Amino acid sequence: MRFALMTEPQMGLTYADQLAIARRAEAAGFSGFFRSDHYESFPGRSDAPTTDAWAVLAGLARETERITLGTLVTPVTFRNPGNLAKVVVTVDEMSGGRIELGLGAGWHADEHRRHGFPFGEIGERADRLEETLAIVRGLWEEPDGWSYLGTHYAVEDSFFRPKPGVVGGRAGGRPRIITGGQGSPRGFRIAARWADEFNLSSAGPALVSEKLAALDEACLAIGRAPETLARSAMVGVLVGRDRAELAAREAALAQAFGDSSEDFGAWMAARRGRWIYGTPDEARAQLEAFAATGLGRLMFQDFIATDLDMIDLLGEIARG
């Protein structure tokens, strides 16, 4: 199983912070570095500075060497599909072929309202997601002159340059596409139709096994071999070399979230059972449970990513 570090830079992280984190993840042996794509800060303080995901990834593309880079996930409501296709291919070329595109329907209503982004009901946003996936893949893969007419977007007589090519030695030509969520029937159908990888969030090992079985059924329903769709999970992480270090990191997490002790305690209690949480031996046992589900990759969701020592420890745990 492969391991990636997933961060939440809307929590006030500067570009310099993110560069240090990505370089540390690369040095620690992680195969990938992913970041959320948000324009407004949360959890914790609401007025912390935020950065644009794809502008940051363009910088990281030039200042890292090996690690895969991507979003988990970019809301389709933020960018026109044609613009998104161009930006991703540009950053992919800058990285030497190390970009992966995570796409989602978007969910943060206030963030959309305050930045002038359209935000319809979930059904409409899911429709936009499917149309965006069709257009991005069409612009990347279809011949010149390809056209598409959807409800929300249209492409006429396409002419996309450069087409994604074989860069950085990557076979297949284009960036991999990831979709995901908590495992709704429509989410499974979208992944089966359009994605290279499905990423499950907010699930412990038992639920992962249940959801992956449903994903298999969605693939079979459209004639896709289930093994051709990679599977991953985004899992919260909090680890320490001993109980004292773990307690200190839990306190740092509570401070970052800005919650009262009582609120944070209840929130954390609901997650310990499905996070990678505890001392190294405890964390390795949890990794084994996730590996037994058949997942090919875990994304470690790190809410205190400026703690570079914890990234080192996570790398040690992942290496066994």
Q: How far is residue 181's CA from residue 97's CA, in Å, rounded to a whole number?
A: 25
Average pLDDT over residues 294-319: 98
The confidence score (pLDDT) of residue 133 equals: 98
Average pLDDT over residues 26-36: 98
The confidence score (pLDDT) of residue 173 equals: 84
**Residue 248: is its pLDDT beyond 90?**
yes
The confidence score (pLDDT) of residue 262 equals: 76
Average pLDDT over residues 283-300: 97
Q: Are 206 and 196 in contact (CB under 8 A)?
A: no
The angle, 0 to 180 degrees and rounded to 10, between the axes of the packed helices 243-257 and 261-269 is 120
| Residue 74, strand partner residues | 103
The predicted-structure confidence for 83-137, as pLDDT tens digits, reads as follows 999 999 999 999 999 999 999 999 999 999 999 999 999 999 999 999 999 999 9
Q: How far is residue 300's CA from residue 320's CA, in Å, rounded to a whole number?
A: 15
Instruction: State CA 316 to chain mean position distance.
Output: 22
Q: How far is residue 287's CA from residue 274's CA, in Å, rounded to a whole number?
A: 11
Residue of 276, 318, 267 lying closest to 301 (CA atoms) = 276
Residue of 109, 4, 146 lying closest to 66 (CA atoms) = 4
Token code pair at residue 220? 């079979």
Superfamily name with CATH number, domain 2-319? Luciferase-like domain (3.20.20.30)
How many Cβ atoms sit within 10 Å of the Cβ of residue 291?
A: 13
The confidence score (pLDDT) of residue 172 equals: 58
Query: Prior bond to 136 cis, omega within 30?
Result: no
> Would you call 242 exposed, middle or buried from its count of C-beta atoms within 10 A (0-12, 13-18, 19+)?
exposed
The confidence score (pLDDT) of residue 99 equals: 97
> Would you call 313 exposed, middle or buried from its count of C-beta atoms within 10 A (0-12, 13-18, 19+)?
buried
Q: With residue 234 as reference, give the H or E element that holds it.
A: strand 230-239
- CA-atom Rg of the chain in angstroms: 19
> Which residues are CB-neighbours of 133 under 8 A, at least 6 positions away?
103, 177, 179, 190, 193, 194, 195
Q: How many contiguous H segments (helices) and E segments (strands) does the chain have?
A: 11, 12
The angle, 0 to 180 degrees and rounded to 10, between the axes of the packed helices 15-27 and 53-63 is 50
Q: Are 1 and 296 in contact (CB under 8 A)?
A: yes
3-state secondary structure of 6: strand
How many Cβ atoms sit within 10 Å of the Cβ of residue 269?
A: 9
Share the mean pLDDT of the chain: 95
The predicted-structure confidence for 164-193, as pLDDT tens digits, reads as follows 976 665 655 899 999 999 999 999 999 999
The predicted-structure confidence for 252-284, as pLDDT tens digits, reads as follows 999 999 876 778 889 999 999 999 999 999 999
Token code pair at residue 24? 């540390």
The predicted-structure confidence for 142-162, as pLDDT tens digits, reads as follows 999 999 999 999 999 999 999
36: pLDDT confidence band, cut at 50, 70 and 90?
very high
| Residue 232, strand partner residues | 199, 297
Q: How far is residue 34's CA from residue 301's CA, in Å, rounded to a whole number?
A: 9
The predicted-structure confidence for 214-243, as pLDDT tens digits, reads as follows 999 999 999 999 999 999 999 999 999 999
Residue of 281, 291, 320, 311 lying closest to 233 (CA atoms) = 291
One-letter amino acid for residue 66 of the chain:
R
Torsion of CA 27, 245, 43, 264, to 10 degrees: 160
